[in-house]
């Protein structure tokens, strides 16, 4: 295919594949269900931590296939609570990936423990071999991130954790509705944490949740999120050094409405992502996250795509400029692996850390397309594939350009 067949790239002065008249789905999505639910809470006069929070917790536990769900006011605080509930603190280490939102690692710092970074493999998730190397007698938990919604090799990670006698805390903040061999995200390890922040696939603006099958862990998380209270005890009875990170009834009511759409949306994203996996995966130099038949339902928070600059024929920056000009909103990933953030530079002790796979994603190859695009039509997905093919056909012209 030559550039003549596809036409001149929009970024070089040609007509875009997709003009502004074709809008992408917006996010968040809502309708009269959310309007009625919010008004219902308002008029009920019960605005904090009541039946609607309890109802959503039941719904979320059932959706993920867990015995318990304890909500919190964010994914970040949910991570902190679960670490504290597991007794992790000063002197302890927790293995985390360096390629994730900062909260995965900062939650470990907030409980006084030390995050230890292990590199990724080709899945964009923790590499079990690197985790094995990072284990020490001080390691108290492994915290994988199912990046973009893709599980890491949970079989190998669970074996490693079992051998070490430590829990796996799944940072499932991208994996709502995802299944590993039929088990819901957050139930493969000891527990899992979710975020309901505005950008996430189910949202109340802010919010978070912990799921687990462990009765005692759930009770401790419940207590710590609610001022150290204990079930069945008087309101001013406090047993643990808890905090207040409770959800409001407004948030819970919104989340129940959003959850009613999540399954259909999850399946739609998965179907659309399959079109992208096939179409983009066929373009030399573009590499989507790999599939696995052990992932029995794939959540997509991000459509992650690597641009191999050599094989594709231009730089990632040129690719991104061209794709956006053609009407495909796609972006570069996190600029730095977490250990290069000022936070860790100031802390010290991370100067020697090297995670080449994560560094390559940050510095050279990683791109992501956010999940609401995957709620579009098959035609929308076809546009993305055509844009990639068009850029590929003009990669040499792009490389030689000033972009
Ligand atoms: C969003 C996110 C969090 C934190 O969730 P908040 O609700 O924003 O505090 C943690 N880990 C990952 C991987 C996330 O994407």
What are the structural domain ranges in the chain? 3-28+261-399, 32-257
The predicted structure's pLDDT at residue 374: 98
Q: Kindly state if the Cβ of 173 falls inside 6 Å of ligand 1.
A: yes
CATH code, 3-28+261-399 = 3.90.1150.10
Q: What's the average model confidence in pLDDT over 67-93?
A: 98
Q: Which residues of 129-153 are buried (b: 16+ CB within 10 A; e: fewer)?
A: ebbbebbeeebbbbbbbbbbbbbbb
- Which ligand 1 atom is the nearest neighbour of the CA of 74? 7
44 CA distance to ligand 1 centroid (A)? Answer: 31
pLDDT in tens, 95-145: 999 999 999 999 999 999 999 999 999 999 999 999 999 999 999 999 999
Residue 232: how many CB atoms within 10 A of its CB? Answer: 6
Burial classification of residue 281, based on how many CB atoms lie within 10 Å of its CB (0-12 exposed, 13-18 middle, 19 or more buried): middle
Phi and psi at 262, nearest 5°, equal -65, -40
Q: Return the SS3 of 96.
A: strand
**Is 90 exceeded by the pLDDT of residue 90?**
yes
Residue 270: how many CB atoms within 10 A of its CB? Answer: 18
- Which ligand 1 atom is the nearest neighbour of the CA of 195? 7
pLDDT in tens, 34-45: 999 999 999 999
Of the residues 28, 72, 75, 209, which should be mutated to test ligand 1's pocket, given the most ligand atoms within 8 Å of the CB?
Answer: 75
Q: Return the SS3 of 318.
A: helix
307 CA distance to ligand 1 centroid (A)? Answer: 25
Residue 281: closest CA among 300, 308, 241, 299: 308
Phi and psi at 161, nearest 5°, equal -65, -40
Confidence of residue 330 (pLDDT cuts 50, 70, 90): very high
Q: Return the SS3 of 217.
A: helix
The one-character DSSP state at 288 is E
Q: What's the average model confidence in pLDDT over 344-348?
A: 96
Share of the chain above pLDDT 70, in %: 99
Q: How far is the C-alpha of 304 from the C-alpha of 307, rounded, in Å?
A: 10
Q: Kindly state if the Cβ of 370 falls inside 6 Å of ligand 1.
A: no
- Which ligand 1 atom is the nearest neighbour of the CA of 78? 9
How far is the CA of 26 from the CAs of 30, 204, 246, 372, in angstroms? 10, 15, 28, 7
103 CA distance to ligand 1 centroid (A)? Answer: 6
pLDDT in tens, 198-233: 999 999 999 999 999 999 999 999 999 999 999 999
Q: Kindly state if the Cβ of 76 falls inside 6 Å of ligand 1.
A: yes
Q: Kindly state if the Cβ of 145 falls inside 6 Å of ligand 1.
A: yes
What mean pLDDT, rounded, does the chain reach? 97
CATH class for domain 32-257? Answer: alpha beta
Q: Kindly state if the Cβ of 195 falls inside 6 Å of ligand 1.
A: yes
Q: What's the average model confidence in pLDDT over 343-361?
A: 97
Question: Which two three-digit tokens encode residue 401?
Answer: 């350009």
Of the residues 80, 101, 151, which should be mutated to test ligand 1's pocket, given the most ligand atoms within 8 Å of the CB?
Answer: 101
1 CA distance to ligand 1 centroid (A)? Answer: 42
Q: Return the SS3 of 316.
A: helix
pLDDT in tens, 151-172: 999 999 999 999 999 999 999 9
109 CA distance to ligand 1 centroid (A)? Answer: 15
**Is 80 exceeded by the pLDDT of residue 46?**
yes
The predicted structure's pLDDT at residue 341: 98
Q: Kindly state if the Cβ of 197 falls inside 6 Å of ligand 1.
A: yes
- Which ligand 1 atom is the nearest neighbour of the CA of 200? 1
User: Would you please indicate which residues are annotated as catalytic (active-site) residues?
Assistant: 101, 171, 174, 197, 200, 229, 236, 246
7 CA distance to ligand 1 centroid (A)? Answer: 41
Model confidence, pTM: 0.97
Q: What's the average model confidence in pLDDT over 336-345?
A: 98
122 CA distance to ligand 1 centroid (A)? Answer: 22
The predicted structure's pLDDT at residue 1: 43
pLDDT in tens, 226-281: 999 999 999 999 999 999 999 999 999 999 999 999 999 999 999 999 999 999 99
Q: Return the SS3 of 17.
A: coil
- Which ligand 1 atom is the nearest neighbour of the CA of 76? 9
Query: Which distant-in-sequence residues (6+ apart) come within 8 Å of 74 by Cβ?
Result: 195, 197, 206, 207, 208, 245
**Fold match between domain 3-28+261-399 and domain 32-257:** no
Of the residues 124, 172, 195, 251, which should be mutated to test ligand 1's pocket, given the most ligand atoms within 8 Å of the CB?
Answer: 195
The predicted structure's pLDDT at residue 5: 79
**Is 50 exceeded by the pLDDT of residue 311?**
yes
């Amino acid at each position: 295919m030559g550039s003549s067949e596809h036409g001149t790239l929009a970024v070089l002065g040609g007509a875009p594949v997709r003009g502004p008249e074709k809008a992408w789905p917006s996010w968040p999505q809502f309708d009269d269900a959310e309007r009625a639910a919010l008004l219902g809470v308002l008029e009920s006069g019960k605005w904090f931590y009541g039946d609607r929070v309890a109802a959503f917790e039941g719904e979320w536990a059932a959706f993920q296939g867990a015995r318990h769900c304890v909500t919190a006011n964010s994914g970040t605080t949910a991570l902190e609570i679960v670490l504290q509930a597991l007794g992790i603190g000063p002197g302890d280490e927790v293995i985390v990936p360096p390629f994730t939102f900062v909260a995965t690692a900062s939650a470990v710092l907030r409980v006084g423990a030390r995050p230890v970074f292990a590199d990724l493999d080709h899945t964009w998730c923790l590499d079990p071999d690197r985790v094995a190397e990072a284990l020490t007698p001080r390691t108290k938990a492994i915290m994988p991130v199912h990046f973009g919604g893709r599980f890491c090799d949970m079989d190998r990670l669970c074996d490693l954790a079992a051998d070490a006698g430590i829990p796996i805390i799944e940072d499932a903040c991208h994996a709502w509705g995802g299944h590993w061999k039929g088990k819901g995200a957050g139930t493969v390890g000891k527990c899992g944490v979710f975020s309901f922040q505005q950008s996430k696939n189910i949202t109340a603006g802010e919010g978070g949740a912990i799921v687990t099958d462990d009765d005692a862990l759930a009770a401790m998380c419940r207590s710590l999120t609610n001022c150290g209270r204990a079930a069945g005890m008087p309101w001013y009875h406090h047993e643990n050094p808890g905090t207040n990170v409770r959800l409001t009834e407004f948030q819970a009511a919104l989340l129940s409405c959003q959850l009613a759409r999540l399954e259909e949306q999850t399946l739609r994203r998965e179907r659309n992502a399959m079109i992208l996996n096939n179409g983009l995966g066929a373009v030399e130099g573009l590499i989507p996250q790999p599939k696995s038949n052990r992932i029995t339902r794939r959540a997509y928070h991000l459509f992650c795509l690597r641009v191999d600059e050599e094989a594709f024929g231009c730089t990632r920056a040129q690719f991104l400029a061209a794709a956006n000009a053609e009407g495909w909103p796609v972006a570069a990933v996190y600029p730095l692996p977490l250990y290069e953030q000022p936070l860790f530079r100031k802390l010290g002790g991370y100067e020697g850390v090297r995670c080449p796979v994560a560094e390559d994603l940050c510095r050279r190859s990683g791109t992501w397309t956010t999940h609401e695009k995957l709620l579009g039509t098959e035609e929308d997905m076809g546009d993305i594939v055509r844009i990639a093919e068009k850029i590929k056909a003009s990669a040499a012209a792009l490389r030689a350009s000033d972009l």
